[in-house]
């Protein structure tokens, strides 16, 4: 199966790997798939697999931090209602454009140049209840930037569980603690190789389809 490989900028046969790590970046479970592996489809089954490894009452997994690919109303509702997990993610793109955002407090200083404030976020979409869902949001901005950009973190935790600053910090730590170690494992730990994956020629289905489509257009013309 093929997918777009960002490192070479083209669609080609490839593998996708999803990994879950602890807060310190220690790998806990990983799964490899042929072609594209969307988090929307594989995240919940992988979390259930992790629960099976940890056993009942395992402390790992109290907070689930995932990237913006799962920032949809349906998957957030599944994490909250089905998986009963406290989560933090980011809302972007069309989901952000359709969100209803209501400020809940003033801006407060964060780190050296940023500011945070609490907001209430209303979301709707496939997989969510008909009347949508309401989640807690934390907006982050850099007011002195030449091109101000606001980032919206969302969570189902209460402020007394995870304070405003900790919501932003937990998400921003995802890359250096989780993704970087995942990258190091691929580059030096042998994760760049997978059993059963060879370098032999594979028919490029997507390319063949485009060629057939082009030939039909030529025939019609």
Average pLDDT estimate for 199-214? 71
Residue 194 has what pLDDT?
Answer: 61
For residue 6, the model assigns a pLDDT of 77
Residue-level pLDDT at 197: 53
Query: At a CB cut-off of 8 Å and minimum separation 6, what does 49 contact?
Result: 29, 31
Q: Identify whether the C-beta of residue 186 lies closer than 8 Å to the C-beta of residue 14.
A: no
The predicted-structure confidence for 96-110, as pLDDT tens digits, reads as follows 999 999 999 999 999
Under 8 Å CB-to-CB from 55, ≥6 apart: which residues? none
Give pTM, 2 decimals.
Answer: 0.76
- pLDDT greater than 90 at residue 159: yes
Provide the mean pLDDT of the chain. 85
Query: Using DSSP, how many helices (H) and how many strands (E) does the chain show?
Result: 7, 11
Note the pLDDT tens digit of each residue in 2-28: 888 877 888 888 888 888 888 777 778
> What is the token pair recorded at 38?
């969307």
Q: What is the pLDDT of residues 34-51, one digit of tens each?
A: 888 888 889 889 988 888
Dig out the tokens for 7 from the structure. Answer: 């490192």
**Region of poorest pLDDT, from 21-30, 108-117, 150-159, 180-189:** 180-189
């Amino acid at each position: 199966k093929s997918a777009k490989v960002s490192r070479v900028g083209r669609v080609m046969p490839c593998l996708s790997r999803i990994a879950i790590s602890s807060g310190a970046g220690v790998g806990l479970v990983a799964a490899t798939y042929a072609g594209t592996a969307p988090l929307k489809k594989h995240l919940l089954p992988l979390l259930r697999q992790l629960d099976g490894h940890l056993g009942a009452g395992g402390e790992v997994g109290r907070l689930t931090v995932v990237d913006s690919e799962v920032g949809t109303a349906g998957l957030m509702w599944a994490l909250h209602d089905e998986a009963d997990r406290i989560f933090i993610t980011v809302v972007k793109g069309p989901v952000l454009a359709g969100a209803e955002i209501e400020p809940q407090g003033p801006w407060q200083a964060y780190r050296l140049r940023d500011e945070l404030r609490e907001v209430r976020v209303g979301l709707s979409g496939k997989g969510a209840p008909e009347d949508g869902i309401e989640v807690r949001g934390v907006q982050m901005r850099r007011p002195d930037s030449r091109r101000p950009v606001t980032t919206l973190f969302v969570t189902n935790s209460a402020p007394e569980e995870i304070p405003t600053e900790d919501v932003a910090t937990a998400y921003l730590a995802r890359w250096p603690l989780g993704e970087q170690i995942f990258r190091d494992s691929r580059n030096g730990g042998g994760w760049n190789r997978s059993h059963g994956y060879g370098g032999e020629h594979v028919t490029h289905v997507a390319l063949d389809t485009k060629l057939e489509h082009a030939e039909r257009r030529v025939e019609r013309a």
